[in-house]
Every structure is written in structure tokens, then in C-alpha cells.
Homo-oligomer: A and B are copies of this chain.
Amino acid sequence: MIRIGILGCGRIGQVHARTLRGMDTAQIVAVSDFFPDAAETLAKTCGAETRSTEAILTSDDIDAVVVGTPTDTHFDIIKTAAANGKAIFCEKPVDMSADNIRTLIKDVEAAGVPFFTAFNRRFDPNFAHVQSRIAAGDIGNVELVTILSRDPSPPPISYIESSGGIFRDMMIHDFDMARFLLGEDVVTVYAAGSALVDPAIGEAGDVDTAAVTLTTASGKICQISNSRRATYGYDQRIEVHGEKGMLRAGNVLENTAQLATASGFQAAPTKHFFLERYADAYRIEMEAFIAHLSDPTVAIPTIHDGLAAQRMADAATESWQTGQPVTL
């Protein structure tokens, strides 16, 4: 039985708590939040205590922590958690600074604690199926990857301003997905971007429409595109072209119903946003984390994966700003 402390009781902390409550192999012992009410509410639902974050990180009766606090708190939390021998499940991004992540890698490796970077999309059953068939050799060598991610609508400008920009905030998921599907590190990043959805996003120094080209040492190519707006829902697709064939995973629609009229055949929009679309992925990633703690052969996204994606996001940001490709 893995004894869990949940740090951060917001939306994503609640999602993970729900998964953990349904598992026989884990138990939520304590939760903390900057807002005491939030911690109280979740604690009650889980039959857990509230404690301070510091107390959770140093308690003897906690084996692992789930870090769902704001990104700027991750660095200190991870350092303390590692120093206290806690296994760590950390929401992305690990840290906005690649250098900070490098520091944390040393601490985590020195402590020898398991570290799970929560790239939940690797655990989406559709995308995971694609990756497993690539791994099984069904399409031979991967040559060309296409990733399309579009949010239903842009976040508030206040969020944009503190987000680190579209490449670090939104496309970071696609950078990790690219590495997951390419099976190889990326050496060149070229980014184009425009503020087409909302000029205010441009005035905030960011873009809302972006396209990136990645190339690997062996010549594999990946194209990613992002938009902060999709009227038809949350658009999440991948496609992998290899020497023996092509694998892709399409959108998940709200339902399978179709209406046929003189206008043609109308299917449902996509599931609206990430909590619905990736509900299974959130559950499965937490199960994988818990399973990994007793069986280290269960594959997880590591802190190195967190660093790699962050470096790609930094490079894409630089490429967009300079107009030149960036070599990693």
C-alpha cells in the first residue's frame, strides 16, 4: 500500500485523488493547499488529513507525493521531497527553467527517488495504442510525424502573460508526444507563430497560432501545429508515417450519433476539453505511477523527459523570436 500526500487540491489534484481513491494499492494519507478550505474539502472526500506542505514532505507515513501546485513552487517542493526520500509525481512543466530542472535531476538522482513527469497524453489509450504498435514494428522505421493540437478557446490574457508562452505552456505536450512517437531526440527546431485569434495575445508578447518543424539526427521529421481556438471542440490528433505504413489516432467525439439531412451527415463535436478528453489518461497515468513504485520496469515519463520537452519549448520560443532554426 503506497501512502500518498497530495500537494495542491485544485482541479488536477482532485482528478488524481479520485483515481487514487479507487485503487487498492494506494491510500491518500494527507493533503495540503495554499487555501485551507480547498484542502479541507478534498481531505473530507478522501478520508484524509490536512497537513502543511512542509509536514507532508517530511512525514514518515508518506511514501509518495503528487505535486499539483503552481509551477513556481515545484523547485523547492521537489528538492525537499527528494531529500526526504519521497517518490514524486509532478505535473508538467517540472520548472520553467531548464537549468533548474538540471539541478533537480542531480537531487533526484542523488536521492534515488522515482520521479514521474505527468505527460498524461502518453497514457491516452488512443495515443498509447499508436505508440505500442510503432514499438511492435507495425510500420517499420518512423519517418514523418504530424501532431495537431487545438484548444477550444484561448485562456484569459492574464493566464497568457504568466504562461511562458504557447510553446512552453501548450505545445510542450506535443514536444513530449513527438519524442514519444519519434523514439529519438530532436536536434533542430524551427517555429513560426502568429497572433490571429486575438490581437491581445500578440500584445502580450505571445502567439495563438503556431507551427513547428522538428528534425532528428537520423533525419526523421515532425510537424506540430497549435491553435488556441477550435470552434468544434478540443482537437487532438497524431499521425505517424513509417516505411511499412501509417498509424494515426483521431479525435474523440462527444457521441457516435449522426444526423443526415439535405446538408449531409453531421457527427458530434469533439469532447470539449482536456478533463473530458483525457479522463482515461489521467487515471491510467496515476495507475502507472503507483505500479512503477513496486515494479520499476513499468515505463514512466521521467524527469529527463521533462527536461527534454522544456528545452524544445525554449528552442521553439527562440526560433519564433529570431526567425531562425535552433539547434539543440
Contact = CB atoms under 8 A, between A and B. Distances in A.
A257 B221 contact: no
Contact of A325 (B194, B210, B243, B324): B324
A188 interface: yes
A15 interface: no
A227 B244 CA distance: 13
Contact of A141 (B129, B196, B252): B196
Number of identical protomers = 4
Interface in A120-155: 125-126, 129-130, 133, 138-139, 141, 143-144, 146, 148, 150
Contact of A258 (B192, B196, B247): B247
A260 B146 CA distance: 15
Contact of A227 (B130, B141, B197, B241): B241
B139 A259 contact: yes
Contact of A143 (B126, B133, B209, B264): B209
A183 interface: no
B213 A211 contact: yes
Given A192-B213, A223-B223, A225-B223, A133 B264 contact: no
A219 interface: yes
A126 B251 CA distance: 16
A192 B190 contact: yes
Interface stretch (A29-37, A70-78, A160-168, A265-273): A265-273
B246 A259 contact: yes
B246 A260 contact: yes
Interface stretch (A1-9, A88-96, A228-236): A228-236
A253 interface: yes
A144 B209 contact: yes
A262 interface: yes
Interface in A249-302: 249-269
Chain A interface bracket (under 10, 10 to 19, 20 to 34, 35 or more):
35 or more
B209 A194 contact: no
A195 interface: yes
A144 B265 contact: no
A143 B244 CA distance: 33
Contact of A324 (B209, B246, B261, B324): B324
Contacts of A251: 256
A265 B269 contact: yes
Contacts of A229: 243
Interface in A182-225: 188, 190, 192-197, 209-211, 213, 215, 219-221, 223, 225
A219 B196 contact: yes
Contacts of A230: 241, 246, 260
Q: Which 7 A-B pairs have the closest CB atoms?
A: A194-B219, A232-B260, A245-B261, A246-B260, A265-B267, A264-B269, A129-B257
5 contacts: A130-B257, A194-B219, A245-B261, A247-B258, A265-B266
